[in-house]
Structure 1
Amino acid sequence: MGLEKILSIAGKPGLYELTAQTRGGFIAKSITEDKKIAVNVRHNVSLLSEIAIYTYTEEVPLGTIFQTMFEKEDGKPAIDHKVSKKELESYFAEVLPEYDVDRVYQSDIKKIIQWYNLLVNNGITDFSKAEASKDASDEEE
């Protein structure tokens, strides 16, 4: 499963997997607890595949950052997201050296590391976007 089915829902802890659509929204399943919840149009929902991080030159997709972290950590979880601000910023600078320090806040870095650890701990390590895998299958034909 790639990031195109993983959701962050404002006001709800953790990450969710999109499982089904309903007339007024969709059903999402918690990655950690296997609890299903109904999500309607009033919830602020973000697909992880659509999130990008500011750098000084461009916006880098979250999947690319996760992939870099995955390679850096050899497939293991990263540092704890509760470490000091200095440690968080230093770690993130190793992962994405050109990130825009004025527009990427500590809370963003903390959330990225927390999400990465949550995904890796639950066996989700495909950080590519659907378009990238589609392009690869088109090339094979």
Structure 2
Amino acid sequence: MNLEKILAISGKPGLYALKVQTRTGFVAESLVDGKKVTVSLKSNVSLLSEISIYTYEGEKPLAEVMKLIADKEDKGPAISHKEDNATLLAYFKEVLPNYDEDRVYPSDIKKILNWYNMLQGKGLVTDLAPAAAESAEETPVLEEEKKAAEKKVAEKKPAAKKTAKAEEE
């Protein structure tokens, strides 16, 4: 599993795995206790794959930051998110030295470490991969399918024109 199907739902603790999409929202399963919840479209939901961390050079996807934490901890648990702010800031500075200290708050670091430890506890850290690498693997297949579809459309157009000319004669 990657971060594509992992959700953070505002007002609900923990992380959730997206299971099924419905007409009025979707069903998600808690990674903490395994309970399924129905979430409406009105809820404030964030896909972890869409979250980025501010750095001085731009934004870094959360998947890459979590991979850096996993590399630092040798895929083991990180420090607790309940540590004091100075400890959290020093730890995060080791993981991501160029993060923007003005725009990344201690509360953000607490969330990231809490999420990482949840995913690590479920054994999902080894499966973390940046979405860009996966989409790069899928791109050639999509390009081939797109070209094949364009070819079919191009083949059908001349045939349609020939029948229209035949009807005129």
Same fold (TM over 0.5): yes
* Higher relative contact order (Cα pairs below 8 Å, separated by 6+ residues): 1
1:45 alignment partner in structure 2: 45
The aligned amino acid for 1:37 is V
Render the CA deviation track for 1:66-101: whole Å, top value 9, x for unaligned.
000001000101001101110000000001101111
Q: Secondary structure of the equivalent of 2:123?
A: coil
Structure 2 distance, partners of 1:32, 1:108, is 20
Whichever structure has more helix as a proportion of its residues is 2
Q: How many residues align?
A: 141
Q: Secondary structure of the equivalent of 2:116?
A: helix
Radius of gyration: which is bigger? Answer: 2
Query: Does residue 84 of structure 2 align to residue 84 of structure 1?
Result: yes
The 8 Å contact of residues 4 and 129 in structure 1, kept in 2 or not, is answered as no
2:137 alignment partner in structure 1: 136
Structure 2 distance, partners of 1:23, 1:138, is 29
Structure 1 distance, partners of 2:134, 2:51, is 18
> Runs of 4+ in structure 1 displaced over 3 angstroms?
136-139
In the TM superposition, residue 137 of structure 1 has moved relative to its aligned partner by: 5.5
The 8 Å contact of residues 64 and 130 in structure 2, kept in 1 or not, is answered as no
The 8 Å contact of residues 65 and 96 in structure 2, kept in 1 or not, is answered as yes
Q: Secondary structure of the equivalent of 1:107?
A: helix
Structure 1 distance, partners of 2:27, 2:46, is 14
Whichever structure has more strand as a proportion of its residues is 1
Render the CA deviation track for 1:41-69: whole Å, top value 9, x for unaligned.
11100000000000111100000000000
| Worse-superposed segment, 127-136 or 24-33 | 127-136
Q: Secondary structure of the equivalent of 1:91?
A: helix
CA RMSD in angstroms, aligned pairs only? 1.6
User: What TM-score, normalized to structure 1?
Assistant: 0.94
User: What TM-score, normalized to structure 2?
Assistant: 0.79
